[in-house]
Amino acid sequence: MDGVRVDGVERIFRGRRSAEVVALRGMDLRAAPGEIVAVVGASGCGKSTLLELICGLQTPDAGSVAADPAVLMPQRDLLLPWASALDNAALALRVRGTSAAHAREQARPWFERFGLGGFENARPAALSGGMRQRVAFMRTLLAGKPVLALDEPFAALDALTRQEMQGWLAGALADEPRTVVLVTHDVEEAIVLGDRVVVMSPRPGRAVAELDVELSRPRHRTDAGVVALRERALEALGAVV
Amino acid sequence: MTRFGGLFAAAAIVLALFGAWELYADFGPVDPLLLPAPHDVAQTLNEDRALLWDNFTVTAGEVLLGILVAGVAGFASAIALHLSLTLRRSTYPLLVSSQTIPIPLIAPLLVVWLGFGIAPKLVIIGLVAFFPIVVTTLDALARVDPDTLKLLRTLDAPRLRVLRHVELPAALPGLFSGAKVAVAIAVIGAVLAEQAGSDAGLGHLVQQAIPQLETARAYAAVMILSAFAILLFGLLTLAERLLVPWAHNPPGGSNR
């Protein structure tokens, strides 16, 4: 099994009192090992459900999901407020039984690499939103899993920080290649970061268009190629809304 | 209002209340034996200080030990209840009903059973202090962000490590909230227990002072008890600031 394969997946939520909600129906998705697939769609189209299926947090009601072990990076950083940045980054190692000293030793080099040298002992409350998200990304990487499921990782940041973090993430993934499924509602983010962009329909969500992003990196929002693809992606989104 | 402004206002209110009491006791239609003036109480606090101190140490010991027992047992029970749905479903109603026991009625029965020593006091303090600690700790455990728990599942965290690394630290602010509620009622519990049968303690002293018309001594004891509860509350607040500072900062997992 390599990468991520989602075939004809259906996922239905049945509330006790509310009517059933079909989050996904006939959803297909492929991510080859080392590929970055960006999934865009309107709010509530089942993007987060898709990631939870890939991470094994949910099981499909129909169809199949086959994926290498995946780790989730949610929209909120979810750093533990009582733990230092270093301990937060090392959380994946700690919860698998690595000793504190050993886990810290393994996490420490990443701080220099990710431009957070000197902030190892800071509490999350003392870090900016972008820095916190970088710590959260380190925690995700240190889980040591081949697949990263990124759920709108920068949606909570202000526009400027978001752009900066997109550039940073592109660089980090170039250094440290993983299979990535990145969910976002920001079409430009999808094009700047993805090798491929999958456009989802509103609920019930399924893939309605796929765009290959054959642009050189690093990419910028204002590049002609990005702008042209953005039009195509928006068209695909518009056609289904 | 600033912090010191608040303190100043609180001091002014307390002074005004004491002033009104002083005026009423001095000039009102009431026998000073039945209602001593604050200056009488202050005088008694000074004159009887050895007696008051000896009895205070007894009550304080009961309260501190009782809170400690209730804290440890409450925290441990909250964890057990959190981990086991069966246990929670089967014992939570019992826990709630333990709070419906009328303490003044059960206290003499406990004295008959357990004697005049510290044992019945600990049972009663434990009974009143245990409940708030369990409830607030259990709530704090249950309030751990479900997204954090999902994240931990994708990090392959076993149940007990989730408890150790995430849920226990998250429960500490709940433990402090419960303990703050518990200290106030623990003092009341200690007094009730002493009045049900004992040979020392401020509750015992008050009970003896009233028939002897030593009302100033009784009021002095009451003031010491409430000052003690306030002191414990203050110490817990301070400990909370030092040990769980994140509980007062913007939560770490939230958006900025």
Residue B123 within any structural domain of the chain: yes
Identity of the residue numbered B57: T
**Environment class of B82 (CB within 10 Å of its CB; exposed 0-12, middle 13-18, buried 19+):** buried
- Say whether B256 and A55 touch across the interface (CB within 8 A): no
For residues A159 and A135, what is the distance between their CA atoms, to the nearest angstrom?
Answer: 19
User: Please, which pLDDT band fits residue B181 given cuts at 50, 70 and 90?
Assistant: very high
Given a cut of 90, whether residue A95 has pLDDT beyond it is yes
Chain B residues touching chain A at CB-CB below 8 Å: 145, 147-148, 150-158, 161-162, 165-166, 169, 244, 246, 249-256
- In this prediction, residue A1 carries a pLDDT of 57
**pLDDT of B65-116, one tens digit each?**
999 999 999 999 999 999 999 999 999 888 888 888 888 889 999 999 998 8
- In this prediction, residue A119 carries a pLDDT of 94
- In this prediction, residue B39 carries a pLDDT of 93
**Percent of chain A's residues with pLDDT above 90:** 53
For residues B241 and B236, what is the distance between their CA atoms, to the nearest angstrom?
Answer: 9
Mean predicted confidence (pLDDT) in B24-48? 91
For residues A206 and A153, what is the distance between their CA atoms, to the nearest angstrom?
Answer: 21
Residue recorded with tokens 């765009």: A211
Nearest residue on chain A to B172, judged by CA atoms? A82
DSSP A125: G
Nearest residue on chain A to B145, judged by CA atoms? A78
* Spatial CB neighbours of A192, under 8 Å, sequence gap ≥ 6: A166, A167, A170, A219, A220, A221, A226
Phi-psi region of B38 (alpha: psi -120 to 50; beta: other; left: phi over 0): alpha
Mean predicted confidence (pLDDT) in B204-211? 92
**pLDDT of A15-53, one tens digit each?**
777 788 888 999 999 999 999 999 998 877 888 899 999
Mean predicted confidence (pLDDT) in B120-124? 92
CB contacts of B156 in chain A (<8 Å) are 92, 95-96, 143
Q: What is the mean pLDDT of chain A?
A: 89
Identify which of A91, A86, A34 has the alpha carbon closest to the alpha carbon of residue B153.
A91
User: Please, which pLDDT band fits residue B250 given cuts at 50, 70 and 90?
Assistant: very low
- For A207, the 3-state DSSP assignment is strand
Mean predicted confidence (pLDDT) in A114-142? 92
Given a cut of 80, whether residue A193 has pLDDT beyond it is yes
Given a cut of 60, whether residue B35 has pLDDT beyond it is yes
Q: What token pair was written down for A212?
A: 């290959």
Residue recorded with tokens 């006791």: B25
- Say whether B155 and A96 touch across the interface (CB within 8 A): yes
Mean predicted confidence (pLDDT) in A133-155? 92
Residue B229 within any structural domain of the chain: yes
What Å distances lie between residue B140 and A88, B72, B95, B180, B231, CA to CA? Answer: 20, 16, 17, 15, 25
CB contacts of B162 in chain A (<8 Å) are 95
- In this prediction, residue B254 carries a pLDDT of 41
Given a cut of 50, whether residue B138 has pLDDT beyond it is yes
Identity of the residue numbered A224: A
CATH of the domain at B78: 1.10.3720.10
* Spatial CB neighbours of B196, under 8 Å, sequence gap ≥ 6: B104, B107, B108, B110, B111, B120
Mean predicted confidence (pLDDT) in B187-202? 92
**pLDDT of A218-238, one tens digit each?**
888 888 888 888 888 888 887
Residue recorded with tokens 């980090």: A172
**Percent of chain B's residues with pLDDT above 90:** 77
Nearest residue on chain B to A79, judged by CA atoms? B253
- In this prediction, residue B75 carries a pLDDT of 94
- In this prediction, residue B249 carries a pLDDT of 54
- Say whether B150 and A128 touch across the interface (CB within 8 A): no
For residues B206 and B255, what is the distance between their CA atoms, to the nearest angstrom?
Answer: 54
Given a cut of 90, whether residue A108 has pLDDT beyond it is yes
Q: What token pair was written down for A70?
A: 């995946």
Mean predicted confidence (pLDDT) in B143-162? 93
Chain A residues touching chain B at CB-CB below 8 Å: 52, 55-57, 70-72, 74, 76-83, 91-92, 94-97, 123-125, 128-129, 132, 139, 143, 145, 149, 156
User: Please, which pLDDT band fits residue B1 given cuts at 50, 70 and 90?
Assistant: low
CATH superfamily of A4-69+145-240: P-loop containing nucleotide triphosphate hydrolases (3.40.50.300)
Minimal CA separation from B172 to chain A, in Å = 11
Q: What token pair was written down for A45?
A: 């189209």
Mean predicted confidence (pLDDT) in B111-140? 92
Domain boundaries, chain A: 4-69+145-240
Q: CA torsion angle for B163, B169, B170, B174 (degrees, to 10)?
A: 110
Given a cut of 50, whether residue A169 has pLDDT beyond it is yes
* Interface pTM, i.e. ipTM: 0.86
Given a cut of 70, whether residue B256 has pLDDT beyond it is no
Residue B166 within any structural domain of the chain: yes
Mean predicted confidence (pLDDT) in B41-50? 94
Residue B22 within any structural domain of the chain: no
Minimal CA separation from B155 to chain A, in Å = 5
The domain total for chain B is 1
Residue recorded with tokens 């970061």: A193
Which one is predicted more confidently, B44 or A231? Answer: B44
Which one is predicted more confidently, A115 or A70? Answer: A70
Full residue range of the structural domain in which residue B110 is found: 37-245
Residue recorded with tokens 């695909």: A236
- In this prediction, residue B253 carries a pLDDT of 43
What Å distances lie between residue B143 and A87, B151, B164, CA to CA? Answer: 22, 15, 15
